[in-house]
Amino acid sequence: MSGNGDAAATAEENSSKMRVIRVGTRKSQVSLARIQTDSVVATLKALYPGLQFEIIAMSTTGDKILDTALSKIGEKSLFTKELEHALERNEVDLVVHSLKDLPTVLPPGFTIGAICKRESPYDAVVFHPKFVGKTLETLPEKSVVGTSSLRRAAQLQRKFPHLEFKSIRGNLNTRLRKLDELQEFSAIILAAAGLQRMGWQNRVGQILHPEECMYAVGQGALGVEVRAKDQDILDLVGVLHDPETLLRCIAERAFLRHLLYLTGGVWSLNGADSMQETMQATIHVPAQHEDGPEDDPQLVGITARNIPRRAQLAAESLGISLATLLLNKGAKNILDVARQLNDAH
């Protein structure tokens, strides 16, 4: 009996000495943010059984302002600022985000230490129960479609001019409830990856492919934000990098940052004016890391020391080249008009 007691005491003592990694997330036990954080923490626990992980939840500005369209608020870090403050104060060690919520230029002292394997980047249509079996094309004239994204509304207005697009806010649970109960919307547009992670694939009535609606930069991928100088945590989360997802997202974020350096989005608000181009590049990723030490390893806010630097630079160059091509063909005029119209409404 005494031997078993000693063993239990030893196990308890060892457990109390385990290092605790504090993980920040947006508040709500059943939210998409919490489910995404739980999935990353589960992976880290499997990789590091000698560590303990504590999840710390907090509300963000974007969670509190629910009666205003995101494009009208004018805040670049709606869903990240409070979490970054906690990182800065050393109250948490890392934060899990939807990568599309992270600006391409992070505040000083922060970096994206890992980009996890991307799920579907596409947008999905969820229909009101009375319109199940329809598509956006076959919805009745003047049907109202809800979306929180100007990007989606501008593109889809051009593709489906018989529809009306209206802002809808709230987490996934709230938006689905508004769709089903308020009789205001015929359908809503959501990220397919979010529905998949919530286990609601059965609500997807239509997947929007790029020729219908180009997805957001980084959509479908999770980013892990950390303190840029916290080498222990950078090493810890760096194993989560998915090389293909990383390079694609570097290219996308470089494209977005280059455009935003000049102005806003790339479609007029009514979808009448748009500009699209496609560029491709083949990037070879060697088996061994061939790069030397780097004083500032960040590209578009991302640190990935375990991925070859040449491959990252090639991905960044692709994104910048495509943005430059569009701007040289007149995209700046579309961007300027879209910004003015959005500010005026």
Residues with a known catalytic role? 101
DSSP string computed for 297-341: --BTTB--TTS-HHHHHHHHHHHHHHHHHHIIIIIHHHHHHHHHH
In angstroms, the CA 132 to CA 150 distance is: 25
Among 267, 237, 258, which residue's Cα sits nearest to residue 322?
258
Helix, strand, coil share of the chain (percent; to 5):
45, 15, 40
Q: Which helix (H) or strand (E) holds 176?
A: helix 172-181
Q: What are phi and psi of 142, to 5 degrees?
A: 70, 15
In angstroms, the CA 188 to CA 168 distance is: 8
Owner of token pair 């308890």: 12
Asked if 254 contacts 320 with a C-beta cutoff of 8 angstroms, the reply is: yes
Please write down the long-range contacts of 35-42, taking CB distance under 8 Å and 24 or more positions apart.
35/197, 35/198, 36/96, 36/98, 36/197, 36/222, 37/96, 39/197, 39/222, 40/96, 40/116, 40/222, 40/224, 40/240, 41/96
